[in-house]
């Protein structure tokens, strides 16, 4: 699995484990992701995948490096996917 595939899988898992927000984003804590059995089986390096997704501006969280235990309550916010209408508006402008 390459980095792009891992980021896509991470988005799916955040949607599965997180809570949908009013703006269409999803919020989950690092501890929930880290301690989930399914995530543990999918991601060999969850922290690395999170950093790659943050670099691609797919999600946000405070800090650079997340560590189990210390950062379990850090919220990870998966940004909302643009709708077709808003994407078309950007393209036309």
Q: Indicate the pTM of the whole model.
A: 0.84
Number of Cβ within 10 Å of residue 68's Cβ equals 12
Give CA separation, 70 vs 1, 19, 60, 63, 75, in Å.
29, 22, 18, 12, 13
Give tens-digit pLDDT for 14-37. 999 999 999 999 999 999 999 999
Whether the pLDDT of residue 1 is over 90: the answer is no
Q: 1 or 11, which is more confident?
A: 11
């Amino acid at each position: 699995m390459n980095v792009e595939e891992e980021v896509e899988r991470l988005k799916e898992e955040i949607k599965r484990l997180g809570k949908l927000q009013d703006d269409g984003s999803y919020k989950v804590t690092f501890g929930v992701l880290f301690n989930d059995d399914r995530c543990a089986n999918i991601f060999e390096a969850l922290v690395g995948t999170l950093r790659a997704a943050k670099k691609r501006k797919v999600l946000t969280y405070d800090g650079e490096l997340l560590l189990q235990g210390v950062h379990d309550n850090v919220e990870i916010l998966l940004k909302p996917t643009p709708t077709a209408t808003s994407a078309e508006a950007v393209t036309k402008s």
